[in-house]
Amino acid sequence: MKNPTALSRRGFAKLLGAGAAYAALRPALGLSESTPNPTETKTSDVVRLSSNENPYGPSPAALRAMTAAFALAWKYPDETQDDLVDALARLNQVSKEQILPGAGSGEILKVAVAAFTGPDKKLVVGDPTFEAAAGHAKASRAEVVKVKLNATYAHDLPKMLEAPGVGLHYVCNPNNPTASITPKSELSAFLAKVPPETIVLVDEAYHHFVESADYESVIPLVKDHPNLIVARTFSKVYGMAGLRYGYCVAQPDKIELMRAQQSWDSESIMAIVAARASLDDNAQVENGRKNNSVVRKFVCGELDKLKFNYIPSHANFMMIDMRREVKPLIAAFKDKKVQVGRLFPPLPNHLRVTIGTKPQMERFLAVFKELTT
Ligand SMILES: Cc1ncc(COP(=O)(O)O)c(C=O)c1O
């Protein structure tokens, strides 16, 4: 194993990526307080607010676990993975046969679409929503039915139920890009009505950021609904987007149908040890939620002063009504070194922006003012 302190500062800066974790690991890496933190916002830097990542980075425990795991890189994940699956099963109060890990929850979406849609089994999605599931439907030659979100930007579940010949319903809650929630009462009423042969995939990638009493995870409903799959990720509040780890909870027969679509050992041992260590760090989730909530409130307050409307956000991103086409604005932000979200065609005037750190959002707001006044 290579001594980590023997790596160059630049190398480590690149490796670690995020401010808080970098600061926490400084002593262990042999770096002094005066070593520049690569994640601190300087006006000359690009501010990345385009992919709903966690700007505070992974848990320091995850970084320590990965450093220690350099020595494990030669071996397949096997029992390291088993240990994490056991921990995820305990966390979600299900059996280990009800957990399927993936290289990000993106892989879970892909294998679910592959397993449960086809030329005569449609995929039904909200509009707009996270595009990955619909993208994967091309490979299974499944028709995609897009159902417009309702007036509160929740999934229009009664309308989704009307589609005939459905293999899979994809429900993103909170929804990307709108950061809106579909209320728990509507979701449980929907689950009660979906025919048993139709699968429902609820994507809870942004679960940890929600503070509303109208929202609830549907993981506890898996035991009563053999057609329910719930996807989770370590990319968001756990700050591990670059590491790639996600999973789903479902009944064992559905897990096996999805596993058959997956490559063996698709998760890296580094991601596995980082995820395992993160689960024991309660502060990671608490701080992630708190920081996001405080900075989001600040941004909303500034937008209120500027008299811009936005969709109330339940996640680590939000959509702002720019009152004009956002496509050229996205490019204009990029020219000013602020990367914002892509265009979501059903909402051509809405700009999606990730909630970054306060300095990042101050920079965003400065450019926002420049471009809108
Ligand atoms: C709603 C939603 N689901 C899934 C993903 C994929 O995340 P990952 O594959 O990193 O777990 C994303 C990524 O942004 C997302 O927004």
| DSSP bridge partners of 102 | 246
Write the pLDDT tens digit of every residue in 69-89: 999 999 999 999 999 999 999
Q: Is 27 within the bounds of a domain?
A: no
How many angstroms separate the alpha carbon of residue 105 from the centre of ligand 1?
6
pLDDT at 91: 98
Is this prediction's pTM over 0.95? no
Q: What is the CATH number of the domain that holds 127?
A: 3.40.640.10
Number of domains the chain is built from: 2
* CB-based burial label for 278 (10 Å; 0-12, 13-18, 19+): buried
Same domain, 94 and 242: yes
CA separation for the pair 123, 145 (Å, rounded): 6
Q: Which residues neighbour 210 within 8 Å (Cβ) at sequence distance 6 or greater? A: 174, 181, 314, 315
Tokens encoding 83:
């240990």
- Measured in degrees and rounded to the nearest 5, phi and psi for residue 51 equal -130, 15
Atom in ligand 1 nearest the alpha carbon of residue 107: 9
5 lies in a domain?
no
* Residue 24 within a domain: no
In a domain, 35, yes or no: no
Q: Please report the pLDDT score of residue 303 as a whole number.
A: 98
Give yes or no for residue 130 CB within 6 A of ligand 1.
yes
Question: pLDDT digit string (tens) for 11-21?
Answer: 333 334 455 55
Q: Which atom of ligand 1 is nearest to the CA of 246?
A: 11
CA pair distance 265, 272, nearest whole angstrom: 11
Rounded distance between C-alpha atoms, residue 171 and residue 112, angstroms: 13
Nearest-angstrom CA–CA distance, 97 and 53: 30
Rg (alpha carbons) of the chain, rounded to whole number: 21
Do the domain assignments include residue 15? no
Ligand 1 centre from 243 Cα, in Å?
13
Which residue carries 């064992």 as its tokens? 252
The residue out of 258, 279, 300 marking a domain boundary is 279
Q: Are 310 and 208 within 8 A, CB to CB?
A: no
Position 93 in a domain? yes
Strand partners, 147: 126
Q: Is the CB of 233 under 6 A from ligand 1?
A: yes
Q: Is 241 in the pocket of ligand 1 (CB under 6 A)?
A: yes
Alpha helix positions (H), the chain: 9-16, 19-25, 60-68, 78-92, 105-116, 132-136, 157-162, 184-193, 252-259, 269-279, 282-305, 326-335, 358-372
Amino acid at 102: G
Q: Which residue has the tokens 């707009």?
A: 128
Q: Where do we find the tokens 């001594």?
A: 3
Report if residue 7 sits inside a domain: no
Same domain, 212 and 346: no
| pLDDT for the residue 252 | 98
pLDDT of residue 14: 36
Shared domain for 125 and 211, answered yes or no, is yes
Per-residue pLDDT tens over the stretch 23-75: 655 555 544 454 444 455 444 589 999 999 999 999 999 999 999 999 999 99
**Are 296 and 344 in a shared domain?**
yes
The reply to whether 256 and 328 lie within a common domain is: no
Q: How far is Cα 231 from Cα 201, in angstroms, rounded to an integer?
A: 7
pLDDT at 34: 47
116 and 230 share one domain: yes
Co-location of 100 and 236 in the same domain: yes
Q: DSSP per residue over 84-126, as a string? A: HHHHHHHHHTS-GGGEEEESSHHHHHHHHHHHH-BTTBEEEEE
Looking at the DSSP assignment, which residues form a beta bridge with residue 233? 246
Q: Range of 181's domain?
A: 69-279
Please tell me the residue having the least CA distance from ligand 1 atom 6. 106
Which ligand 1 atom is nearest residue 245's CA? 11
User: Does one domain contain both 339 and 311?
Assistant: yes
* DSSP output for 131-192: SHHHHHTTTTT--EEEEE--TTSS--HHHHHH-SSEEEEEEESSPTTT-----HHHHHHHHH
> Do 109 and 226 fall into the same domain?
yes
Tell me: do 81 and 135 sit in the same domain: yes
Q: Check if the beta carbon of residue 339 is closer than 8 Å to that of residue 46.
A: yes
Does the CB atom of residue 205 touch ligand 1 within 6 A?
A: yes
For residue 140, what are its two tokens?
């299974």
Please identify, among 279, 302, 331, the residue that sits at the C-terminal boundary of a domain. Answer: 279
| pLDDT at res. 45 | 86
Asked whether residue 303 falls in the same domain as residue 167, the answer is no
Of the candidates 117, 111, 110, the residue with the CA atom closest to the CA atom of residue 133: 110
Instruction: Assess whether 144 and 291 both reside in one domain.
Output: no
Residue ranges of the chain with pLDDT lower than 70? 1-44
CATH number, residue 364: 3.90.1150.10
Q: Distance (Å, rounded) from C-alpha 85 to C-alpha 263?
A: 17
Q: Rounded to an integer, what distance in angstroms lies between the CA atom of residue 218 and that of residue 204?
A: 9
Strands 246-249 and 350-354: unpaired
Whether the CB of 106 sits within 6 Å of ligand 1: yes
Decide if 104 is inside a domain.
Answer: yes
**Boundary residue ending a domain (249, 279, 309):** 279
